[in-house]
Amino acid sequence: MAVHRGSPRQEPDAERGRLAVNPFHAAADPAVGMRAVPPTDRLPDEPMPPDTTYNLVRDELMLDGNARLNLATFVTTWMEPQADALMAECSAKNMIDKDEYPRTAELERRCVAMLADLWHAPDPQRAVGCSTTGSSEACMLAGMALKRRWSRRNADRLRTGARPNLVMGVNVQVCWEKFCNFWEVEPRLVPMEGERFHLDPQAAAQLCDENTIGVVSVLGSTFDGSYEPVEQVCAALDTLQERTGLDIPVHVDGASGAMVAPFLDPGLVWDFRLDRVASINTSGHKYGLVYPGVGWALWRDAESLPQELVFRVNYLGGDMPTYALNFSRPGAQVAAQYYTFLRLGREGFRAVQQAARDVAGTLAAGIASLGDFRLLTRGDELPAFAFTTAPGVTAFNVFDVSRRLREHGWLVPAYTFPPDRQDLSVLRVVCRNGFTADLADLLLDSLDRLLPELRSQPGPLVRDEQKATSFHH
């Protein structure tokens, strides 16, 4: 077996006697299979024992960060052992093969019906939807439906070269930028202004015209955890229609908030109770409490999803409609989503999300009490909050704080805000199920211990913001 680690090959004689892995990884004889360094950038010439292979891969993955201490991501990092077992049992099932795995398909249908009911669809049995690999795919599907509905109404305008546009806040997740790029839609972005860090209803309405396919409103901004005012956005578009006749639909990107607001903010009107809301997406793998990757896309009724976007295939044994972008994908996450819905119910979800919000609020208050930071949000909408350095703090910046916390195992992202608040750099903490009050206390303690050193600096040490953490998904 030859050696290859990005350097010239070594002759077999040169590698004899070299052990690449712990000899105890071998099943019985510690010398078996230990004659050569396994290559990393090409397929090995020979097979390896499964236990040896497992230990090699596991040892390398130990260098990854601890997922439970990753406060940058909204994605679920903990599930119950029973859910782990269920996912393992379903890992070989292909979600698209509904004829071969009819019960998995039925669980998907039930999840769609449960979400339609949760989000107050006029007739949950008539709402249409599907599982996806995440909110990014769900947003693509929703955007395609908006564009196709606009194209139907504006065939004459298309022939004269009219370009469709989509109105949204500059704080939207990058998947919406991808959608506009991939499907040739002009993005019309409402910038941030002052202490407003998300979409302004009146500014959104002002950007709409006869080429607008829809407005995206985000229920839970990744930048600061705040809800956008969906009801006010719809009201502004109602006024626009009364004045101009333009009927602009709304898509709610509820990647995180659509699985928080129904349980913690039941009086907040943001969903299908608003006639102008045509579609909603959420991430089952965020506050839906399932491991990545599963998302959900729902339309209020069949008329909201153009039928030409629904394809039918029969070569897997049955006549199946499909309107996801992906074809083959695992059914394990759908089974896990159904498990979570059954396991928790409405009251269980309320308790879990309230616990996360309580942790976020307590931690935000603790950070504010240190005196070196200013809170932008307090975790009272999404269980997430953003903060920056307090006025007068010149010895360090948020990028210094992020770097020093990483040395203690904590991943807390630091990043700049988009136009027109690029002058503002923040840290953001996401509190998920599994991030307990005890862990929050440990984070606060780590931050408190670091502050004396940070305060004694002559000035910020991390000046190249491109090298700082910027992940905010």
**Last residue within a domain, chosen from 288, 311, 341:** 341
The stretch 338-358 carries a mean pLDDT of: 98
pLDDT for position 45: 84
Asked if 262 and 335 sit in the same domain, the reply is yes
* The pLDDT of residue 403 is above 80: yes
pLDDT for position 313: 61
The stretch 108-117 carries a mean pLDDT of: 95
Separation between Cα atoms, residue 146 and residue 32, nearest integer Å = 61
Is residue 30 assigned to a domain?
A: yes
Is residue 70 assigned to a domain?
A: no
365, 380 in Cβ contact below 8 A? no
Asked if 278 and 382 sit in the same domain, the reply is no
Asked if 188 and 226 sit in the same domain, the reply is yes
Asked if 373 and 306 sit in the same domain, the reply is no
For residue 77, what are the CA distances in angstroms to 68, 224, 304, 431?
Answer: 6, 20, 34, 11
Asked if 377 and 428 sit in the same domain, the reply is yes
Residue 225, Ramachandran bin (φ over 0: left; ψ between -120 and 50: alpha; else beta): left
Query: Whole domain around residue 157: which residue ranges?
Result: 82-341
The total number of structural domains in the chain stands at 3
pLDDT for position 62: 87
Separation between Cα atoms, residue 186 and residue 167, nearest integer Å = 9
pLDDT for position 363: 98
Token pair of 311, please? 């394809």
pLDDT for position 156: 79
Q: Please, how many CA atoms are within 13 Å of residue 380, restricted to the half-sphere of its CB?
A: 5
Is residue 76 assigned to a domain?
A: no
389 forms beta bridges with 373
Contacts of 135 (CB under 8 A, 6+ apart): 173, 175, 253, 255, 281, 282, 283, 286, 295
Asked if 52 and 186 sit in the same domain, the reply is no
Is residue 17 assigned to a domain?
A: yes
Asked if 251 and 183 sit in the same domain, the reply is yes
pLDDT for position 40: 82
* The pLDDT of residue 31 is above 70: no
Summarised one tens digit per residue, pLDDT across range 150-176 is 999 888 777 788 899 999 999 999 999
Asked if 315 and 380 sit in the same domain, the reply is no
Which of 255-259, 304-308, 409-413, 439-443 has the least mean pLDDT?
A: 304-308
Is residue 69 assigned to a domain?
A: no
Asked if 289 and 156 sit in the same domain, the reply is yes
| Average pLDDT in the chain | 88
pLDDT for position 248: 98
Summarised one tens digit per residue, pLDDT across range 198-240 is 999 999 999 999 999 999 999 999 999 999 999 999 999 999 9
pLDDT for position 402: 97
Summarised one tens digit per residue, pLDDT across range 289-298 is 999 999 999 9
Is residue 145 assigned to a domain?
A: yes
Residue type, 436: T
Q: Please, how many CA atoms are within 13 Å of residue 103, restricted to the half-sphere of its CB?
A: 4
pLDDT category of residue 126 using cuts at 50, 70 and 90? confident
Instruction: Choose between 307 and 271: higher pLDDT.
Output: 271
User: If we measure between CA atoms, which residue out of 97, 73, 435 comes closest to residue 256?
Assistant: 73
Asked if 328 and 359 sit in the same domain, the reply is no
Asked if 278 and 151 sit in the same domain, the reply is yes
Instruction: Choose between 322 and 406: higher pLDDT.
Output: 406
The stretch 462-469 carries a mean pLDDT of: 54
Is residue 179 assigned to a domain?
A: yes
pLDDT for position 325: 77
Summarised one tens digit per residue, pLDDT across range 77-93 is 999 999 999 999 998 88
Most confident stretch, 62-76, 302-316, 439-453: 439-453
Q: What is the CATH number of the domain that holds 412?
A: 3.90.1150.160
**Last residue within a domain, chosen from 311, 341, 371:** 341
Instruction: Choose between 178 and 60: higher pLDDT.
Output: 178
Asked if 331 and 302 sit in the same domain, the reply is yes
Residue type, 76: T
pLDDT for position 463: 67
End-to-end CA distance of the chain: 42
pLDDT for position 255: 96
Is residue 141 assigned to a domain?
A: yes
**Last residue within a domain, chosen from 292, 309, 341:** 341
User: What DSSP string describes 221-282?
Assistant: -TTT-PBP-HHHHHHHHHHHHHHH-----EEEE-TTGGGTHHHH-TT---STTSTTEEEEEE
For residue 213, what are the CA distances in angstroms to 247, 296, 372, 374?
Answer: 9, 21, 45, 38
Token pair of 25, please? 């990884």
pLDDT for position 143: 97
